[in-house]
Structure 1
Amino acid sequence: MGDRANRLSHWFWRLLQGRSAAVDAKRRNSVVRAAGTHQQRLRELTDEQLTEAAAELRRTDRADYSDADLALFLALAREGSRRTLDLDPFDVQLLSATWLLSGQVVQMATGEGKTLSGAIAAIGYALRGWTVHVASVNDYLARRDAEWMGPLYRLFGVGVGWITSSSTPQERRPAYAEDVTYAPVSELGFDLLRDRTVTEVAELVAPEPGVVLVDEADSVLVDEARVPLVLAGSVDEGSADRDLAAVVRLLRAGMHYETDDEARNVYLTGAGAEAVERALGGIDLYSAEHVGSTLPAVNVALHAEVLLTKDVDYLVREGKVQLINHGRGRVARLQRWPDGLQAAVEAKEALPASATGEVLDTITVQSLIKHYPKVCGMTGTALAASDQLRDFYQLRVAEIPPNEPCVRVDEPDRVYATVEAKNKAVVAEIAAAHATGRPVLVGTPDVAESEQLAARLAELDVPCVVLNAKNDAEEAAIIAEAGAHGAVTVSTQMAGRGTDIRLGGADGADRDRVVELGGLYVIGTSRHYTSRLDDQLRGRSGRQGDPGGSVFFSSMDGELVTRHAPDAPAPTKVDADGLVTDKGARHTIDHAQRVAEATNLEVHANTWRYNQLTAEHRRILGERRDALLRTDLAARELAERCPERHAAVLEAVGEQVLEDAARQIALHHLDRCWAEHLAMLADLREGIHLWALSRESPIAEFHRAAIPAFKELLGEADRRTEESFLEVKITDSGAELGAAGLRRPNATWTYLVHENPFGSDLERTMRGVGKILKGAL
């Protein structure tokens, strides 16, 4: 009865929301039409007069636009864009901007002009007194879009800046000081984390949050929402046991280790543990001597060997391991795995170990986005993620109609019995299309497959250009020519590439020939783990009413099926070339993809449940830290708790030095206790699955342990601060923290973590049972 009531409630809510959205859409269309009535008058104004007209819309109170003011603003934006960018926005682009200005996520098809719509909305927010961050998906797009749209911003008297992962603090501060700042979403998060480690107000980089406008919103807000952004501080030089790397390299799947269905975790079997123990000189991995040191190191080395693949999960370039961001098909520069795993991969590749560190602070992308008072976004595939956007962010999705109807022909999937047969068919299809001169864009899941496909095409004398994490710096030029006559482009992950593919090449010279051939032909070598990424790839063809086509190839023994539909029946109707003609084959592929989407949603939900409490604790601690950083709170509190010491130091060095010394001591211990608290929470999560054995709720037990621990954190930080204030030598130069062993990290770096840190209750329970039984044996 309860489930039925919930479904009815959900249906009723969607019905009301739909009617409300319809009324809202009608009003916004009227506003866009009203904008057209200003057009002739505005064309007669000089640039200076246009800027003055925009200035009259400026407010400092963040007030919403009235319909009349919004219509005038849109008209100004259209005329300004025509003059500065030589772009005349379509009505649908202005309509999109109105939805963004109301804090919604808009779905716009590829090639419909999201970049300009986003810039118009950002200007609209800035004129109303908001600080705006446009969250891009990579460095290239952040800089490109800020520079491209710059003339339009300047005409409106709105400042714009950009930040990339290589930007220095001296470059970041003025960029953030502008009205609008373009930056990769990860950099926004890392700057927030880094600001929580500074000890002087002058060292702060990021401003108070206002509006965040998220590009590729579904990718950022859903696919990457669970990804922890982690800031670490250096401790000492790293070390990795190459002997362990050599030992685990000899272990055999099925005999010595097993992986879970999702290939997220790997476990030693009894035979595997015995093999490792023999290789390490007859030790007992589960003895008190080794269970807390050697066993974890073996597990991490096994993870690096089995679950992380070169040219799929990481590259080796310039003598270093560089991570690949799977969601974007790019190298995740300046990022790394947590230390044990990073060192294990370095040992696996026989590379020198990098410095090790400890986690100073973490924040998920979801918590980062919820840090902003107002959120909006745009993408080509938002509707498929509308439930998640509503449930996790309270965001509605508005579908913007295309300026021109889409005439792309999307063929049904071609399913093959084996990966080998599928690969042969893919190569044959590319070669056949290329022989006619039709441009082909091929989407592959990873670097390794893109390069293997390129090698097979070379054997057939089919030239191609490869775009993957190894050469993503050249992506704009590569994509711009992907629609040229005879072009074959092989790419990993097209979502967020950000450059339109024009038929006939960048200059459109061969457009007519390409149109006659059917336009750009998109070929997917496999389905992605979510249909939204498939649609992103398809959407590269058929832009602005252009002709085009797409087809996806799949196999019954491919990773999607074997991982997410392992019990699927074997095909019974298979042609000589391996093509499966069973009616149920496509259903199996669809089913496997839905299971993959559900699995990722569960991971997102699990992460959200556990991180809610930590996010609240981070907020409380952040308020405390900000007060210590910006005021004389530390000195006043120490005056109450240590009046004699306070009076003596005040007399010896003066008020200013005393306040600074008290601040430095208090911030050091607060940060130190927070880092220790995060480490405790990580350990707690690792063992929380054991509560499921007694049918207790792991999340309830997590809260039961974490809440009192956090309360003790604040008291412990105060106790340590008082103790250090009494002992640390304070001179005219300040507190000599280093001499007292109170050292801050001399370097920081960021982690990239893609994992399910909690798993399902059943997974955790069974894993715990296995460990208990093994320990008993």
Structure 2
Amino acid sequence: MDWLWKALGGKSGRNQKKSQAVVAKAQSAAQALAELDDAALADRARALTSQGELADPAEFLAVLGVATQRTLKIAPFDVQSQATLRLLEGDVVHMATGEGKTLVGAMAATGYALLGKRVHVITVNDYLARRDAEWNRPLVEFFGLTVASVTEGMIPEERRVAYASDVVYAPVNEIGFDVLRDQLITRREDAVQRGADVAIVDEADSVLVDEALVPLVLAGSVPGSAPTGQITHIVRGLTEDNDFTIDDDRRNVFLTEAGAHKVERALGIDSLYSDEHVGTTLVQVNLALHARALLVRDVHYIVREGKVLLIDESKGRVADLQRWPDGIQAAVEAKEGLDVTDGGRILDSITLQALLGRYPRVCGMTGTAVEATDQLRQFYDLRVSVIDRNRELQRFDQADRIYATNVDKERAIMSEIAGLHAKGQPVLIGTQDVAESEQLATALREQGIECSVLNAKNDAEEARIIAEAGDIGRVTVSTQMAGRGTDIRLGGADERDRDAVVELGGLAVIGTAKHRSSRLDNQLRGRAGRQGDPGLSMFFVSLEDDVVVSGGAGEDVTLTPRADGLIESSRAQRFVDHCQRVTEGQLLEIHAQTWKYNKLISDQRSIIDARRARLLDTDLAWQELAERAPERAAELMGLPEDIRVQAARDIMLFHLDNGWSEHLALLDDVRESIHLKAIARETPIDEFHRIAVTEFKTLAQTAVDEAVQTFKSVRIDEDGAHLSDAGLNRPSATWTYMVGDNPLANKGKSLISGIASIFK
């Protein structure tokens, strides 16, 4: 294994052998520990961790193993104990699907808690947070520790109680939104978060890489703005090529001169580009055009119960709480004839990458960490530890089947599914988006093949559908990432027909296209072949697929297909692999560039956080205001000290928060237009840094100056500072959402990078 560790840039083979030796030693210690009663065993664990570090890692693993058997009725495999040790040493653990990552996370979380660390176990959704917290409860409580979960529907009081636990399970977005909401409090007791020492990230590559650049946004409600009904109707009547054009990668749309004249005539105005209309009417027309031409229902979003719900391209399911920038969101709602929701002034935002950077220690587990080694090391300084399978892999991974056209490919996919289904072998088909999943399901049913569909439209049924996907004759059509965290057991959830399915060859996984990252392919492939089960995986590729067209742009490749469209040459496989590597490289480069932008904002946030904490926890606000406005301070000396201090705190925090909100809005505008700096031969990132640093210095001074003016003029009495009388209102309602920030997302979903262009 030494060559593999060196290739991965992970822990050395020597350290890997060392951890295996520790596990072997733990086996020897377990027999004597098993004779202790519960109280003595718990006492032994506390003795081994009393100094904040493991006095004897082998004995500690043995204690955890014995306690797990008593509480969860599961004896950890050696590989699970080894993975637990690697987590306790701060690695990202690569474990194959079905190897028991949930137990590993539970043991590591319990171990960290015994070491006196507050632990957040970060999941990808509410269901897994609730499920895993309750499942792990007996083990955590065995040692006198506490465990809880935080989920979307909880009120602040419930969250506050949950976060006080030693081990907290929560989706990453809930933790992030609570961090943002705590940045609005004016009294320390109103905070719900307590921070944590350790983040154990389940599905680590999904959270730390795929969604790392997703900004979590906290907004204060303001009326939404959308194209008028007249503009939406006019744009609906425009035709591509004549009235508007779309660029090759379908990220931007532009009115032609003829299209602009058509809109002007319909609106009865002289020019869209006049001073009167360029900042209003033209913007609305472009928003409506963007929504009409680039955003496709059932590919980029679905409509459910009168609401537009975005689809997460990496998961193929509804992106809870995610929305586009307000103008685009409103335009899509208008396009669909729905009520336009409130927009919002951004009060604060934080990327998942910056959020995870707040934890002193981050570790995690996933089935596809190896492929993300470079990103994990570059952006988090994390190492990958590969854990061997408990049982040898029995899945057969076929070579890609490459076709000349989509029509040829789709015909071959239907034929393959029909053949597998005819003999009763369960089939899981991974599609690229909701529209494809439903089209495929319709085609299968027309051929008499019943199937379950798992996509963004019915994700509430996810666990049930995926659990049965391994039963005899079952055909499941799914979008990417569906059911992650739920095992597909051969023979159904109760494994009643396991032997029969094994005889048939196990679960067959079919990918209808290659993804932009090989990790996503491997996530789908990994649904088959759990714990030594037999299985089969195959991917179908067309030269018209998005990843091939994008990654192969500019390549002159001539490939000759058979009569049925199949291309059998090894050159075709090399070309497809090349295209995927190109898109992976583009994604890594974009991540690196975006990280540079976000890193400065994150550093500035740390300064704001520190300033805010001092204002919240001390009388600094009163001291600073009294020093700058001594006469006003003297007038207020008759008030109780706590009222004076809180009034000063409210004033200072209002202007600090308001300044930070305006700073974020400014930097967003700068970043959207920074590409213009390249035209002037300036380096965009350097120019961004220059502006950001200059404006941040102004923010700090302006916030204090404005606070002094408010302190001098606002009414302050026994009820505190009456900021609302001066029109200084904090938002009465706030809401949260997420904004995609992936400029290589498929077919127009990359709105952050493209949105500036529609205003040209």
Which bin holds the TM-score, normalised by the shorter protein? over 0.9
The 5 A counterparts of 1:200-211 are 200-211=187-198
Aligned pair in 2 of structure 1 residues 158, 567: CA closer, same or farther (>3 Å)? Answer: same
Superposition deviation, residue 28 in structure 1: 0.9
Deviations 1:303-323 (A, max 9, x none): 222222212222211111122
Deviations 1:64-98 (A, max 9, x none): 324xx211121122112222222111100110111
Aligned pair in 2 of structure 1 residues 624, 148: CA closer, same or farther (>3 Å)? Answer: same
Alignment-mate amino acid for residue 267 of structure 2: L
Partner of residue 194, structure 1: 181
The 5 A counterparts of 1:360-399 are 360-399=347-386
How far apart, CA to CA, are the structure 2 residues paired with 1:277 and 1:155? 73
1:249·1:305 contact (CA, 8 Å) conserved in 2? yes
Is 1:688 aligned with 2:658? no
Is 1:512 aligned with 2:503? no
Deviates more, 1:515-524 or 1:642-651: 642-651
Deviates more, 1:464-473 or 1:292-301: 292-301
Aligned pair in 2 of structure 1 residues 394, 18: CA closer, same or farther (>3 Å)? Answer: closer
Superposition deviation, residue 210 in structure 1: 1.1
Partner of residue 664, structure 1: 650
Superposition deviation, residue 608 in structure 1: 0.5
Alignment-mate amino acid for residue 307 of structure 2: K
Return the match for 1:64 from 33, 50, 53.
53
How far apart, CA to CA, are the structure 2 residues paired with 1:768 and 1:384? 31
How far apart, CA to CA, are the structure 1 residues paired with 2:374 and 2:311? 29
Q: Secondary structure in 2 aligned to 1:650? A: coil
Partner of residue 581, structure 1: 568
The 5 A counterparts of 1:285-296 are 285-296=272-283
Q: Secondary structure in 2 aligned to 1:503? A: coil
Aligned pair in 2 of structure 1 residues 675, 321: CA closer, same or farther (>3 Å)? Answer: same
How far apart, CA to CA, are the structure 1 residues paired with 2:321 and 2:10? 47
Q: Secondary structure in 2 aligned to 1:264? A: coil
Return the match for 2:515 from 517, 528, 552.
528
Superposition deviation, residue 662 in structure 1: 1.1
Superposition deviation, residue 757 in structure 1: 7.2
The 5 A counterparts of 1:300-379 are 300-379=287-366
Superposition deviation, residue 559 in structure 1: 2.0
How far apart, CA to CA, are the structure 1 residues paired with 2:448 and 2:555? 38
Superposition deviation, residue 725 in structure 1: 1.0
The 5 A counterparts of 1:241-260 are 241-260=228-247
Superposition deviation, residue 351 in structure 1: 0.4
How far apart, CA to CA, are the structure 1 residues paired with 2:160 and 2:576? 49
How far apart, CA to CA, are the structure 2 residues paired with 1:105 and 1:73? 20
1:324·1:331 contact (CA, 8 Å) conserved in 2? yes
How far apart, CA to CA, are the structure 2 residues paired with 1:685 and 1:301? 23
2:373·2:384 contact (CA, 8 Å) conserved in 1? yes
Superposition deviation, residue 457 in structure 1: 0.9
Is 1:29 aligned with 2:16? no
Partner of residue 718, structure 1: 704
Superposition deviation, residue 240 in structure 1: 4.2
Deviates more, 1:242-251 or 1:634-643: 242-251
Number of equivalences: 754
Superposition deviation, residue 567 in structure 1: 4.0
How far apart, CA to CA, are the structure 2 residues paired with 1:743 and 1:109? 52
Normalised by the length of structure 2, the TM-score is 0.95
How far apart, CA to CA, are the structure 1 residues paired with 2:696 and 2:144? 46
Aligned pair in 2 of structure 1 residues 758, 673: CA closer, same or farther (>3 Å)? Answer: farther
Is 1:746 aligned with 2:732? yes
The 5 A counterparts of 1:545-584 are 545-569=532-556, 572-584=559-571
The 5 A counterparts of 1:586-625 are 586-625=573-612
Q: Secondary structure in 2 aligned to 1:336? A: coil
How far apart, CA to CA, are the structure 2 residues paired with 1:768 and 1:352? 23
Superposition deviation, residue 770 in structure 1: 9.3
Alignment-mate amino acid for residue 54 of structure 1: A
Return the match for 1:98 from 85, 104, 107.
85
Superposition deviation, residue 14 in structure 1: 8.6
Aligned pair in 2 of structure 1 residues 168, 641: CA closer, same or farther (>3 Å)? Answer: same
Q: Secondary structure in 1 aligned to 2:17? A: helix
Return the match for 1:76 from 56, 63, 70.
63
How far apart, CA to CA, are the structure 1 residues paired with 2:163 and 2:243? 53
Alignment-mate amino acid for residue 437 of structure 1: G
How far apart, CA to CA, are the structure 1 residues paired with 2:437 and 2:103? 32
Q: Secondary structure in 2 aligned to 1:677? A: helix
Deviations 1:594-628 (A, max 9, x none): 22212221221121011111111111011111111
Q: Secondary structure in 1 aligned to 2:471? A: coil
Superposition deviation, residue 241 in structure 1: 2.0
Return the match for 2:419 from 427, 432, 440.
432
The CA RMSD over aligned residues, in Å, is 2.6
Q: Secondary structure in 2 aligned to 1:232? A: strand
Percent of matched pairs sharing the same residue: 54
Q: Secondary structure in 2 aligned to 1:362? A: strand
Alignment-mate amino acid for residue 669 of structure 1: H
Q: Secondary structure in 1 aligned to 2:466? A: helix
Partner of residue 4, structure 1: none
The 5 A counterparts of 1:627-666 are 627-651=614-638, 653-666=639-652
Alignment-mate amino acid for residue 72 of structure 1: E
Q: Secondary structure in 2 aligned to 1:57? A: helix
Structure 1: runs of 5+ lacking an equivalent: 1-11
Q: Secondary structure in 1 aligned to 2:581? A: helix
Partner of residue 53, structure 1: 44
2:317·2:482 contact (CA, 8 Å) conserved in 1? no
Deviations 1:473-532 (A, max 9, x none): 221111111111111111111366111111111111111111111110001111111110
Aligned pair in 2 of structure 1 residues 421, 179: CA closer, same or farther (>3 Å)? Answer: same
Alignment-mate amino acid for residue 671 of structure 2: R
Return the match for 2:206 from 192, 196, 219.
219
Superposition deviation, residue 261 in structure 1: 4.3
1:439·1:485 contact (CA, 8 Å) conserved in 2? yes
Return the match for 2:399 from 395, 412, 422.
412
Partner of residue 443, structure 1: 430
Alignment-mate amino acid for residue 361 of structure 1: D
How far apart, CA to CA, are the structure 2 residues paired with 1:581 and 1:547? 26
Aligned pair in 2 of structure 1 residues 266, 754: CA closer, same or farther (>3 Å)? Answer: farther
Deviations 1:87-122 (A, max 9, x none): 111100110111111111110000001111111111
1:264·1:755 contact (CA, 8 Å) conserved in 2? no
Q: Secondary structure in 2 aligned to 1:205? A: coil
Deviations 1:604-660 (A, max 9, x none): 112101111111111101111111122211111111111111121221x32221111
2:490·2:506 contact (CA, 8 Å) conserved in 1? yes
Deviations 1:208-260 (A, max 9, x none): 23111111111111111111111111123555423232233333334443444
